[in-house]
Amino acid sequence: MGLVLKNGRLLNLETGEREALEILIVGESIAEVAEQIDAADHETIDLNGNLILPGFLDMHVHLRQPGFEAKETIETGTAAAARGGFTTVACMPNTRPVLDSPELIRYVYEKTAQEGSCTVLPYGAITKGELGEELTDIAGLKAAGVIGITDDGVGVQSSSLMREAMRTAAALDLPVVIHSEDEDLAKDGCMNEGVVSKRLGLPGIPGLAESAMIARDILLAEDTGAHLHVCHISDAASVELVRHAKSRGLKVTTEVTPHHLLLTEAIIDQTDASDANMKVNPPIRTEKDRLACLQGLLDGTIDMVATDHAPHTEEEKQRPFQTAPFGFVGLEIAFPLLYTELVQTGHLPLHELVKKFTVNPAQVFKLDRGSLTVGKVADLTVVDLDTERTITGEELKTKGRNTPFMGKTVQGWSVLTINQGRITYQGK
Ligand SMILES: NC(=O)N[C@@H](CC(=O)O)C(=O)O
Ligand SMILES: [Zn+2]
């Protein structure tokens, strides 16, 4: 007994064509893709002409468990992922305790098996406790199943420690995933350094705090042969550095968030920094930076979209701008936002956007995902491109309400998500 998806259109990611094909799922895998499938022995779902896409991958998510369950849990975070069309998320280790030991990596896998609504691939920390002082047991983390190492949330300040981490990671074929931030340059900043921070009298984080660290780490990656993956790129000079590294054939990849593609620091200017739901790290920057990120995504310098889903409690986000924590939720709204703002406006074709959520992250992290052909894992999402919905707190499955996009009306919402053959989200 399997499941046949009828009356859907499968998006061909090479040509952009929408093909009237049916899919038979048996167990965890795709058993058949054909114009017509005999459904006599199977359950069927009528997709009402909606579009079938490979399940999305998000390589930058904060699930907050263990330790910060008031912000999010593996259960709520993966439910949000499924609603957003995601079937795989990579979770960040800045939990409490930090994911810096094989036992904690096994904990994430076990918890996901019990409560998860998508595949969760954990990153392990580069340094114990993300304190930047002592390397973790990187080989032990790899054996426990990490897909990369990162101290996301903070930058690794010590160049010699980073060099050592990259040497080890290169030998283990593990990506080194960097939160690029020179703390000395970033000081105690709470927003982008520039005209707006000056007007508001708030301490700024210069783009240089990001780009200087990326420059260092590109050189270290060249020195060690490590695969360097740059998290949440946000600054024009950073994009140029990655472009240059790629042109020289270095193993350097990067991701960009929907908020850095769509917003500028004007959102803080307009609200006089009265709303910490506009506060994120790296900060939302200038129009020049935003356009550089967009151009980087279009020309392939930036490999993929990642949400940097970073839930916080409403109480935390009600604090004054300077003391509230950084971060936005993003899993449930990323695809509709970018479909509405980039595809419908003609910046890029739909299938190109979909690649940045599917085949590109799969390829960069060497995951056998992102393709809907026979024998592959049945990870997919069905998207209704036409129905408009307004982003409201009530509908969100994440515990977080911290997004600057609240109240925005967008289209391109998932109506069905299937992870390893199992329905993980079904909605309107
Ligand atoms: N992006 C954020 O603003 N915050 C993240 C940390 C991070 O991704 O750097 C968090 O953990 O809250
Ligand atoms: Zn980060």
Q: What is the pLDDT of residues 325-363, one digit of tens each?
A: 999 999 999 999 999 999 999 999 999 999 999 999 999
**CA–CA separation, 149 vs 216, rounded Å?**
17
252 C-beta closer than 6 A to ligand 1 = no
Specify the residue with its C-alpha closest to ligand 1, atom 3: 327
pLDDT digits (tens, 9 = 90+) for 185-198: 999 999 999 999 99
For all residues of the chain together, what is the average pLDDT? Answer: 98
Supply the ipTM of this predicted assembly. Answer: 0.98
- The predicted pLDDT at position 186 comes to 98
- Catalytic member of 308, 368, 384, 386: 308
% of the chain beyond a pLDDT of 90: 100
Q: pLDDT, tens digit, for every residue of 34-48?
A: 999 999 999 999 999
Which of the four pLDDT bands, split at 50, 70 and 90, describes residue 149?
Answer: very high
Question: Is residue 308 among the annotated active site residues?
Answer: yes
Nearest atom, ligand 1, residue 62 CA: 11
Q: Give Cα separations from 196 to 232, 271, 303 (angstroms).
A: 22, 11, 30
* Cα gap 328→68, rounded to integer Å: 15
DSSP single-letter state for residue 279:
-
Would you say 60 is a known binding-site residue? yes
Name the strand (E) or helix (H) holding 364. helix 359-364
Q: Which of 182, 234, 308 to mutate for ligand 1's pocket (most ligand atoms within 8 Å of CB)?
A: 308
Q: Does ligand 1 have an atom closer than 6 angstroms to the CB of 94?
A: yes
In this predicted model, what pLDDT tens digit does every residue of 213-231 receive, in sequence order?
Answer: 999 999 999 999 999 999 9
Short-list 295, 296, 217, CA closest to 250: 217
Domains of the chain: 3-51+376-426 (2.30.40.10), 55-364 (3.20.20.140)
pTM attached to this predicted model: 0.98
User: Are the CB atoms for 378 and 418 separated by under 8 Å?
Assistant: yes
How far is C-alpha 307 from the geometric centre of its chain's CA atoms?
4
Other C-beta atoms lying within 10 Å of the C-beta of residue 426: 14
**Residue matched to tokens 């061909």:** 12
pLDDT at residue 292 in the model? 99
Q: Say yes or no to pLDDT of 428 above 90.
A: no
Residue pointed to by tokens 């420690």 = 161
Ligand in closest contact with the CA of 324: 1
The residue whose CB lies within 8 Å of the most ligand 1 atoms, and thus the one to mutate among 58, 60, 61, 62, is 62
User: In the 8-state DSSP scheme, what is residue 226?
Assistant: P
Distance (Å, rounded) from C-alpha 425 to C-alpha 406? 22
**Percent of the chain having pLDDT more than 70?**
100
